Structure 1
Amino acid sequence: MSGIAFAIPGDIELPTGGYAYDRRLLAEWHAMGVPAEHIALPGSFPFPTEGDLHLTGRALLQRPYDDTLLIDGLAYGAFPEGIAAGLAGRVVALVHHPLGLETGLAPETARALLAREAAALRYARAVVTPSPAMKRLLAADFGVPAERITVASPGVDAAPRASGSSAGEPLHLLAVGAVVPRKGYDVLVTALAGLSDRDWRLTIVGATDRAIDTVAALVAQIEAAGLSARIRLAGAIGDAALAEAYASADLFVMPSLFEGYGMVLTEALARGLPIVCTTGGAAAETAPDDAALKVAPGDAAALAKAMASLIDAPARRRAMADAAWAAAEVLPRWRDTAAIVAGVCLPGWGQKGG
């Protein structure tokens, strides 16, 4: 019987949105009885060595021919055209966001990645992406026919509503995401430096080992702004600690420069948190307007103004929190997401009683 061979590069347990998406697909498929197997690819992607490309090609070509090769875009987008062509018709590409749009790349590296990903996508039988915004981008800028692209938005788990900070404590701001250039934490610190007269504290939850120079620069920026006692870099933390961080938060902030979806936004909605975020990538559409204030990415002044307007207005925060809690009721669940992707990979699977 044919199944899904889900090829994912690197450590699937890494605390990123993309890997979380991949893990949940595999877990849901196991529970649903969908025939699927995790194929571990080398961790050097998106800049694979020749040796790793050889290992990758061999691992994929060893799969039964009637398996669907679902390949995470962190790897597939970096495939040389020759490898992609050799797998033509067998691949469903999962594109979280284009590799060449990662912040901080040298211009020539970004151009090369964009060209390579566009070439590889021409050979994919189908493409799965997390948001309508990403579908439009892939169709317009990468030449993927819209009818070959399926949106499978990340699911969200039901969660208790956040209770916020205790009486007499500073307002608790929360940001979640790895400390890498694309997340825009330097913009957030610049914005908060102008709000030092307000009573707040910020917790940034996310891996600090993926961009060491960015982390060092951020720590120096925080110290120079005199905010070391008010901004905490918590690093990557476990699920229980993350749940506690959400529970004690009063306002969720996402300053990202670009997001293919922005899973942390729906996680914040699931806790009934008001949001301040950017309009980078799909983020503008992920959070509903009545639950989020949205500003242009990279605009520290606008970000500061939006945060101040909620820090200073408890009633407005409560109204937006209520809107967030209501919006969470209609968010997709992970079982829905997994069923959509399974249907793309194994056409007719749902009609066969799977």
Structure 2
Amino acid sequence: MRQPLTGKPTTTMTRPRRAALAVPGDITTLTGGYIYDRRLLDGLRSAGRDVALIELGAGFPDPSAAEIADAAARLAALPADCPVLVDGLALGALPVHALDGMAAPLVAMVHHPLAHEGGLPEARRAHLFETERAILERASAVVVTSPHTADLLAADYGVPAAAITVARPGTDRPAGVGAPADPPLILSVGIRVRRKGHDVLLRALSRLTDLDWQAVIAGGVHDADHAAELDRLKAASGLDDRVTFAGRVDRDTLDSFYARASIFALATRYEGYGIVFDEAMAYGLPIVSCDTGAVPGTVPGDAGVLVPVEDVDAVADALRRLLTDPAHRKTLADGAARAGAALPAWDDTAATVAAVLDRVTP
């Protein structure tokens, strides 16, 4: 449009919509929850939102008094037009009074409830349940990563279904073509903590030593005592030459493991979602895991075999059939590839969460 001959041209500047993401510890930590947080942050920013990262203390979910006070101060400093997503690892461990000074709308982001972590003493579990329940009552909205977690929060914590939005994690498509290793590589990805069931997987693998295979378990040490127990179990089972604990690895290394693998196995005791299953399906890997938590809703029946939790025999039998029956392995690999191709992208995840932020912004 031609500008008028008199006066100055006018422009309208629209300020990007503001939001904040509060995460305990280092957001670059290579676990599923932190990967979700980081990719969500990148996606919201790429969509033009002004999203501040609030780094809370690394002590969560067992924060010190100083970390609680710092979190309360940081959340209270946010203005009323800046909704804040708070990762459940921190939110579920905050006393509800830490939110008293907040003016910003609170959006709880729950990967899986802290009280549902395996192996907790009953007093600890009860404390976390009450803390999470009280905090969730204060939230303007709740974002979860799976329908399973949505159902869990509605049933156990009384969160209204209308307040919950499922924002399934996105998945990157593999950049190249897989190059399976010889002998076949069984890949497991998960931090070394009891919930991930690496001990179950090791015991199952010890029953397959008559077959030709190798295995890699990738994931950092989260529980030093349990990691030491796994090292002892691997040695006692005669698996030192077969199984490698790769530790925490970078993205390129992890992608190379997926590309070289023939089978993905995670004998988990519980998952609130499990990004690694999506990654495995994106690479067309047949999956062996457990019928627990969100796993059945994440891994389709034609993409993998799900067995009862802690059933070493069933894990071993499922792996043996995949290693010895090429037709069966191909059938599940094809199903995994189809499921992987239909998974959402991270932009879709960000768009879902952005709609929640818009709803709660005054």
After TM superposition, the score normalised by the length of structure 2 is 0.92
The answer to whether the aligner puts 1:288 opposite 2:300 as a matched pair is: yes
User: Residues of 2 paired with 1:89 and 1:5: CA distance?
Assistant: 10
CA RMSD, Structure 1 to Structure 2 (Å): 1.5
Matches within 5 A, 1:109-120: 109-120=124-135
Which stretch of the first structure deviates more once superposed, 195-204 or 226-235? 195-204
Mark the structure with the bigger radius of gyration: 2
Say if 2:346 is the partner of 1:334.
yes
Please tell me whether residue 303 in structure 1 is matched to residue 315 in structure 2: yes
Q: What is residue 178 of structure 2 aligned with on the other side?
A: 162
Q: Secondary structure at the match of 2:46?
A: helix
1:196 pairs with 2:212: no
Please report how far the alpha carbon of residue 83 of structure 1 lies from its aligned counterpart in structure 2 after TM superposition. 2.1
Q: CA deviation at 1:103?
A: 2.2
Amino acid at match of 2:352: I
Q: Name the stretch that deviates more: 331-340 or 300-309.
A: 300-309
Aligned with 1:294: secondary structure? strand
Name the CA distance, whole Å, in 1 between partners of 2:223 and 2:290: 22
**88 and 277 in structure 1: CA distance in 2 versus 1, 3 angstrom threshold:** farther
Counterpart code for 2:327 = A
Structure-to-structure mapping, 1:206-225, within 5 angstroms: 206-208=219-221, 210-225=222-237
2: distance between equivalents of 1:274 and 1:88? 48
Residue deviations 1:155-183, cap 9 Å, x none? 00111343211xxx322100011111110
Question: How far apart in 2 are the matches of 1:199 and 1:231?
Answer: 12
1:22 corresponding residue in structure 2: 37
Which letter maps to 1:222? K
Deviations 1:171-206 (A, max 9, x none): 210001111111010011111111111111110000
Q: What's the secondary structure of 1:11's corresponding residue?
A: coil
1:104 to 103, 119, 130: 119
Q: Quickly say closer, same or farther: Cα 1:302–1:42, change in 2 above 3 A.
A: same
Q: Which amino acid aligns with 1:40?
A: E
Task: Label 1:332 to 1:249 Cα distance change in 2 as closer, same or farther (>3 A).
Answer: same
Q: TM-score, normalised by structure 1?
A: 0.94
Write the letter of the residue equivalent to 2:164: I
Query: 2:335, 2:244 → 1: CA distance?
Result: 28
Residue 9 of structure 2 is matched in structure 1 by none
For residues 287-341 of structure 1, what are the alpha-carbon distances to aligned partners after superposition, in whole Å with 9 as ceiling and x for unaligned?
A: 1110111111211111111111111101111121111111112100000000101
Shift of 1:107: 2.1
* Residues in 2 aligned to 1:213 and 1:304: alpha-carbon distance in whole angstroms: 25
* Distance in structure 1 (CA, Å) of the matches to 2:35 and 2:71: 22
Distance 1:194 1:112 in 2: 40
Contact residue 81 and residue 104 of structure 2 kept, 8 A: no
Aligned structure 1 segments of 4 or more residues deviating by more than 4 angstroms? none
Q: Equivalents in 2 of 1:212, 1:104: separation in Å?
A: 15
Aligned residues of 2:87 and 2:108 also touching (Cα < 8 A): yes
Distance 1:153 1:45, change over 3 A: same
Equivalent residues of 2:263, 2:287 under 8 A apart: yes
Q: Which residue of 1 aligns with 2:162?
A: 147
Instruction: Decide which of 88, 92, 99 is 1:73's aligned counterpart.
Output: 88
After superposition, the Cα gap between the structure-2 partners of 1:300 and 1:86, relative to the gap in structure 1 and judged at 3 Å, is farther
Aligned to 2:3: none
What is the CA-CA distance between 1:66 and the residue it aligns to? Answer: 1.3
Tell me which residue corresponds to 2:269. Answer: 257
| 1:183 aligned to which of 161, 183, 196 | 196
Superposed displacement of residue 85, structure 1 = 5.0
- Aligned partner of residue 250 in structure 1, secondary structure: strand
Seq. identity, % = 42
Residue in structure 1 matching 2:250, options 238, 241, 244: 238
1:50 aligns with 2:65: yes
Residue 151 of structure 2 corresponds to residue 136 of structure 1: yes
Residue aligning to 1:172: 185
**CA distance in 1 between partners of 2:161 and 2:29 (Å):** 31
What is the CA distance between 1:348 and its match in structure 2? 9.1
Query: Is 86-95 or 282-291 further displaced after alignment?
Result: 86-95
Contact 2:72 2:101 in 1 (8 A): no
Question: Any gaps of 5 or more consecutive residues in structure 1?
Answer: 350-354
8 Å Cα contact 2:79-2:103 kept in structure 1: no
Q: Distance in 2 between matches of 1:231 and 1:250?
A: 15
In the alignment, residue 248 of structure 1 is paired with which amino acid? R
One-letter amino acid of the structure 2 residue matched with residue 178 of structure 1: I
Q: Is the CA contact (8 Å cut-off) linking 1:44 and 1:52 kept in structure 2?
A: yes
Contact 2:105–2:360 under 8 Å retained in 1? no
| Residue in 2 that maps onto 1:125 | 140
- Cα drift, residue 14 of structure 1: 0.7
Structure 2 spans left out of the alignment, 5+ residues? 1-14
- Secondary structure in 1 matching 2:338: helix
